[in-house]
Amino acid sequence: MEAWGSGIPKMFREAKEYGLREPELIDMGSDFRINLYRKDAATDQNGVIDPKERDADDTDDTKVEPNDTNKE
């Protein structure tokens, strides 16, 4: 298990590293929402995403940080 509260700073750090817009934290009274943003995908004239057109600096979304543990 991660340390309590370490996930939100990690989301901000990762967004910055990927060149994404900063996550938006929204207090909705009794609820809480986090908006995460992604890069615009290259699409053809029909709006279909071409997987070959991914950014060269795009990284593997499944990367694991050295401090991460996925033990249950």
pLDDT beyond 90 at 3: no
* Domain extent listing, the chain: 7-53
Q: How confident is the model at residue 12 (pLDDT cuts 50, 70, 90)?
A: very high
Under 8 Å between Cβ of 23 and 11: yes
Query: Sorting pLDDT into bands at 50, 70 and 90, what band is 17?
Result: very high
Q: What is the mean pLDDT of residues 19-34?
A: 93
**Secondary element (H or E) of residue 25:** strand 24-28
Q: Bigger pLDDT: 4 or 65?
A: 4
Taking the complete model, does pTM exceed 0.85, yes or no? no
